[in-house]
Amino acid sequence: MRALVQRVTEASVSVAGEITGQIHTGLLVLLGVGLSDNDACAAKLAHKVSHLRVFKDAAGKMNLSLLDIKGEMLVVSQFTLYAETSKGNRPSFIAAAKPDAALAMYEAFVGYCQSLGVPVSTGIFQADMQVSLVNDGPVTLICEVDR
Protein backbone atom coordinates (compact mmCIF):
# COMPACT_ATOMS: atom_id res chain seq x y z
CA MET A 1 0.00 0.00 0.00
CA ARG A 2 1.33 3.42 -0.95
CA ALA A 3 0.42 6.92 0.09
CA LEU A 4 1.60 10.20 -1.32
CA VAL A 5 1.18 12.50 1.68
CA GLN A 6 1.11 16.28 1.41
CA ARG A 7 1.02 18.71 4.31
CA VAL A 8 -1.66 21.25 3.43
CA THR A 9 -3.26 24.40 4.74
CA GLU A 10 -6.37 23.46 2.77
CA ALA A 11 -7.46 20.80 0.29
CA SER A 12 -10.65 19.69 -1.40
CA VAL A 13 -11.87 17.11 -3.87
CA SER A 14 -14.76 17.62 -6.27
CA VAL A 15 -16.80 15.31 -8.47
CA ALA A 16 -18.90 16.79 -11.28
CA GLY A 17 -18.37 20.27 -9.84
CA GLU A 18 -19.54 19.38 -6.32
CA ILE A 19 -17.16 19.24 -3.35
CA THR A 20 -17.21 15.75 -1.80
CA GLY A 21 -14.45 16.32 0.73
CA GLN A 22 -12.69 19.35 2.16
CA ILE A 23 -10.18 20.01 4.94
CA HIS A 24 -8.17 22.84 6.40
CA THR A 25 -4.81 22.27 8.13
CA GLY A 26 -3.82 18.65 7.79
CA LEU A 27 -2.77 16.00 5.31
CA LEU A 28 -3.91 15.21 1.80
CA VAL A 29 -3.36 11.49 1.29
CA LEU A 30 -3.40 10.04 -2.21
CA LEU A 31 -3.81 6.31 -1.51
CA GLY A 32 -2.80 3.47 -3.83
CA VAL A 33 -3.59 -0.18 -3.16
CA GLY A 34 -1.43 -2.99 -4.53
CA LEU A 35 -2.35 -6.56 -5.43
CA SER A 36 -1.10 -8.16 -2.22
CA ASP A 37 -2.30 -5.51 0.23
CA ASN A 38 -4.49 -6.62 3.12
CA ASP A 39 -6.15 -5.30 6.27
CA ALA A 40 -2.88 -5.36 8.20
CA CYS A 41 -1.32 -3.10 5.54
CA ALA A 42 -4.18 -0.64 5.88
CA ALA A 43 -3.84 -0.55 9.67
CA LYS A 44 -0.06 -0.14 9.54
CA LEU A 45 -0.18 2.66 6.96
CA ALA A 46 -3.00 4.47 8.80
CA HIS A 47 -0.91 4.44 11.97
CA LYS A 48 2.20 5.59 10.10
CA VAL A 49 0.52 8.50 8.30
CA SER A 50 -1.42 9.66 11.36
CA HIS A 51 1.75 9.72 13.45
CA LEU A 52 4.13 11.28 10.89
CA ARG A 53 5.88 14.19 12.56
CA VAL A 54 5.64 16.72 9.74
CA PHE A 55 4.10 19.72 11.49
CA LYS A 56 6.17 22.45 13.13
CA ASP A 57 6.55 22.71 16.88
CA ALA A 58 7.13 25.97 18.81
CA ALA A 59 10.82 25.90 17.75
CA GLY A 60 9.89 25.58 14.07
CA LYS A 61 11.04 21.94 13.82
CA MET A 62 8.93 19.27 12.10
CA ASN A 63 8.18 17.45 15.32
CA LEU A 64 4.37 17.22 15.61
CA SER A 65 1.95 14.73 14.10
CA LEU A 66 -1.51 15.21 12.66
CA LEU A 67 -2.88 13.89 15.95
CA ASP A 68 -0.78 16.36 17.95
CA ILE A 69 -2.13 19.37 16.06
CA LYS A 70 -5.67 17.98 15.84
CA GLY A 71 -5.52 18.29 12.05
CA GLU A 72 -7.71 16.77 9.38
CA MET A 73 -7.08 14.25 6.62
CA LEU A 74 -8.43 14.14 3.07
CA VAL A 75 -8.04 10.68 1.50
CA VAL A 76 -8.32 10.26 -2.27
CA SER A 77 -7.99 6.89 -4.03
CA GLN A 78 -5.11 6.92 -6.50
CA PHE A 79 -4.47 3.65 -8.36
CA THR A 80 -1.91 5.42 -10.55
CA LEU A 81 0.56 5.28 -7.64
CA TYR A 82 1.12 1.68 -8.78
CA ALA A 83 1.97 2.65 -12.36
CA GLU A 84 4.93 0.87 -13.93
CA THR A 85 6.73 3.32 -16.21
CA SER A 86 10.11 1.69 -16.83
CA LYS A 87 9.18 0.29 -20.25
CA GLY A 88 7.75 2.37 -23.07
CA ASN A 89 5.68 5.50 -22.71
CA ARG A 90 2.35 4.06 -21.64
CA PRO A 91 2.02 3.28 -17.91
CA SER A 92 1.02 -0.23 -16.88
CA PHE A 93 -1.21 -0.68 -13.85
CA ILE A 94 -0.81 -4.44 -13.49
CA ALA A 95 0.48 -4.07 -9.89
CA ALA A 96 -2.61 -2.13 -8.75
CA ALA A 97 -5.35 -4.01 -6.92
CA LYS A 98 -8.58 -4.71 -8.76
CA PRO A 99 -11.42 -2.26 -7.93
CA ASP A 100 -13.33 -4.46 -5.44
CA ALA A 101 -10.22 -5.29 -3.40
CA ALA A 102 -8.92 -1.72 -3.64
CA LEU A 103 -12.24 -0.29 -2.39
CA ALA A 104 -12.19 -2.60 0.64
CA MET A 105 -8.62 -1.55 1.51
CA TYR A 106 -9.38 2.13 0.89
CA GLU A 107 -12.36 1.95 3.25
CA ALA A 108 -10.28 0.02 5.81
CA PHE A 109 -7.55 2.70 5.70
CA VAL A 110 -10.13 5.46 6.23
CA GLY A 111 -11.72 3.50 9.09
CA TYR A 112 -8.39 2.93 10.82
CA CYS A 113 -7.53 6.64 10.58
CA GLN A 114 -10.91 7.54 12.06
CA SER A 115 -10.43 5.01 14.87
CA LEU A 116 -7.20 6.83 15.78
CA GLY A 117 -9.21 10.03 16.21
CA VAL A 118 -8.43 11.66 12.86
CA PRO A 119 -11.30 13.57 11.19
CA VAL A 120 -11.31 12.17 7.64
CA SER A 121 -12.93 13.48 4.46
CA THR A 122 -12.82 11.54 1.20
CA GLY A 123 -13.29 11.63 -2.49
CA ILE A 124 -15.52 9.13 -4.30
CA PHE A 125 -13.85 5.85 -5.17
CA GLN A 126 -13.37 5.39 -8.97
CA ALA A 127 -14.91 8.77 -9.77
CA ASP A 128 -13.30 11.36 -12.03
CA MET A 129 -12.13 13.73 -9.31
CA GLN A 130 -10.57 17.18 -9.26
CA VAL A 131 -8.25 17.77 -6.32
CA SER A 132 -7.29 21.25 -5.14
CA LEU A 133 -4.71 21.95 -2.46
CA VAL A 134 -2.37 24.45 -0.93
CA ASN A 135 0.77 22.45 -0.15
CA ASP A 136 2.36 23.82 3.02
CA GLY A 137 6.15 23.98 2.85
CA PRO A 138 5.92 22.26 0.42
CA VAL A 139 6.06 19.00 2.33
CA THR A 140 5.38 15.88 0.24
CA LEU A 141 6.29 12.34 1.33
CA ILE A 142 5.83 8.85 -0.03
CA CYS A 143 4.88 6.27 2.58
CA GLU A 144 4.76 2.61 1.76
CA VAL A 145 4.05 -0.59 3.67
CA ASP A 146 4.36 -4.17 2.54
CA ARG A 147 2.46 -7.21 3.56
Q: What percent of the chain has pLDDT over 90?
A: 99
pLDDT of the residue at 92: 95
Catalytic residue among 80, 93, 126, 130: 80
Residue 147 above 80 pLDDT? no
Catalytic residue among 9, 22, 55, 78: 78
Query: Which structural domain range is residue 93 located in?
Result: 2-144
Name the domain count of the chain. 1
What would the pLDDT profile of 123-137 be if each residue is shown by its tens digit? 999 999 999 999 999
What would the pLDDT profile of 50-97 be if each residue is shown by its tens digit? 999 999 999 999 999 999 999 999 999 999 999 999 999 999 999 999
Catalytic residue among 6, 79, 109, 122: 79
- Predicted structure pTM score: 0.96
pLDDT of the residue at 70: 98
Q: Is residue 79 among the annotated active site residues?
A: yes
pLDDT of the residue at 111: 98
pLDDT of the residue at 146: 80
List, as one string, the DSSP characters of 103-145: HHHHHHHHHHHHHTT--EEE--TTS-EEEEEEEEEEEEEEEE-
How far is 142 from 114, CA to CA, in rounded Å?
Answer: 21
Indicate which CATH number applies to the domain containing 23: 3.50.80.10
Q: Is residue 93 among the annotated active site residues?
A: no
How far is 38 from 33, CA to CA, in rounded Å?
Answer: 9
